[in-house]
Amino acid sequence: MKYTKIFKPFSAFLLLTLSVFLIGCEDQTSDDNFTNDSFVSFSFDETVALAEGESQTMAMSVYATAKSSSDRTVSLYVDEAATTADAMNYSVASSVTIPAGSMMGSFDVTINNDPALGFGGKTVVVGMTVASGLDQPTAFSGTTAGGDLMVTEDMLIINAKTLCDDVQMLIEITLDSWPEELYWWIANAAGDIVADPGPYAQYGNPYAGMTGDVSQELCLPAGDYIFNIYDDYGDGGGPITVSSGGVVIYTSGGGYGSIESTPFTL
């Protein structure tokens, strides 16, 4: 598992808040908390890379601009409209507490790479619903006079992706009307099968019952391989492209007959 933190300077939102206050005055926007010392903010955006099937629980921090004599609890929510990860990929605490006498609190987020997040990754966007007496950094754009005033709140963005320390590959297939006939596999230089879509079954292969476009990401060590595409009936199937790093290893419009084999090196 690889874990990277990207710091968002805490002092920056105080400057932002002051600028918002000045802009807001011009647009008759009022907020009694603009100049107080009770702001709370997420401190980091996060990037996490996990192997397929792996899960990781991470502690996320929330900071306040000043200490308080009592606990401060802030409700949390996942912005589902902005989140691209599947609901099964994450679990986020419902609130975070900044203890009395402290300026920091933490909450847990669990990321699960099943279903696969993909090499390109998915995002989980978390927001705060602040309690009375607290506020959070906001950015304003547009004007009320123009009818396009927009308020952007401080959000935590978690970028989660599938980890590949080796070489990434992508297999893209457009299935024909008989997807159950299609099968493929990749063998290494020793002849061992290192990747396939699932167990082979004549006229009952893993794509049976599926339609449209399907893709599969692979992560293989550098070396020599052979890609094999097979059709049970012997008349080929839908278009297929195999690539790595944007370089096409094999492509066919579907006329591969019973079988075609292509050697390649990663």
Give tens-digit pLDDT for 205-241: 999 999 999 999 999 999 999 999 999 999 999 999 9
How far is the CA of 59 from the CAs of 84, 143, 161, 179, 225, in angstroms?
A: 21, 38, 18, 44, 41
Percentage of the chain exceeding pLDDT 90 = 75
**Interval 167-176: pLDDT, tens:** 999 999 999 9
The two structure tokens encoding residue 206: 């893993």
* Average confidence score pLDDT of the chain: 87
Say whether pLDDT at 32 is over 70: no
Q: Which residue has the tokens 């996990």?
A: 50
**Interval 59-110: pLDDT, tens:** 999 999 999 999 999 999 999 999 999 999 999 999 999 999 999 999 999 9
Q: Beta strands 150-153 and 138-141: pairing type?
A: antiparallel
Q: Which H or E element spans position 170?
A: strand 167-174
CATH 2.60.60 for domain 167-265, yes or no, is yes
181 neighbors 233 (Cβ within 8 angstroms): yes
Percentage of the chain exceeding pLDDT 70 = 86
Residue spans of the domains in the chain: they are 2-162, 167-265
46 neighbors 90 (Cβ within 8 angstroms): no
For 2-162, which CATH superfamily applies?
hypothetical protein (bacova_03559) (2.60.40.1740)
How much is the pTM? 0.74
